[in-house]
Chain A
């Protein structure tokens, strides 16, 4: 499957975390540190599963890596760019161009069709819609097997189809890193397998790095790398 073509011959690091700590309610009596110094490096084309019990800090780690939340301390580089120095606008730009999200729930925009949802990140970035965006979105939906449902309202699709649209949307901006937070958690076994396979093929064929949070030991066993987060630390 030809999804995009940014693959290079010599893999470089897409994500570098050094001593990442994240605390909530800083300066208050109930200050709590969730991440206790995370070190992690992911190279281009790596598929890494994140496992661990509920409340161990997996989602906090993903939100921090996804630039939705700032770390309390430590260094984080995405595609070689140090993020701690970036403004809110800079983080938004980096997030829009380098990172794709797939959540446990698809969070498609119900007011838009499947293809419009996939076009959305490109549309927001460019300001106006154009034919190239439409072609790319159609191509991505074809890649996830949804050509017959291009113009179907997002709400008319099944759970598995909606999640595949969400994967296509995550790929729209040709991100270097895909963050998937239990994307198969709400799906039946067949659909879950389909979505997992889709992410794996994107990773293998296009060199996209995937950080995949899952509670499913069968899926984590199929990943080339697995990290376990326990009490805010990687074991």
Chain B
């Protein structure tokens, strides 16, 4: 079985692309998910990931109804993810006391827009279903290039801003006292989370993104005491969940995204057996 699994990933081009997409998305989600978990913005990330449906629906509608062939649902997802990150960031800074309600409203507005555009688009939207529930085996060469490009942006930003992100995640007041541009850093952090969301949509779909963003760092946090340690372990866990989930889904004929998310959730439950460091 292991032999056939290895040959699956070495010989089948669909699985090779899936392997590459899994590794690339696990790198960014491991890093950005760690910030999301320690800064306790999992709910915000959930809102970003669900609101992308609006962008994906819009792009499908433009493509199918208005014949704009160069546009892809992933482009719409990226634009909507960044826009909702900006809106949520502004909401957090401006309406702190009503933040959760406004974020929930944005969450449902994005999804509502998506549903309306889908209903206006003729045909059965297999493409959209794949984005909603994920299908890592459906990743194309151009998707891989986009994923690697976004990966590079996130890695570069984190390399330059990690110490600043760590400082604002722990204590924004202290950073403000030093006249650090906390608001700008907060928007940057949310923007990078938005990019990670788009990367993960390829793997587990918009609905299940939150699982892959939050679960690997949550498990890693039980074993590691430093944020950098959590990031490294989260990346490995993300790759492990993606590969095992994809393989299991292939043999059981289950949907890959859901299988990956279920595997991650099961591992998270098991991690509670380990006492926190």
Q: Do A and B interact?
A: no
Residues in chain B within 8 A of chain A (CB atoms): none
Q: Which residues of A come within 8 Å of B, CB atoms?
A: none
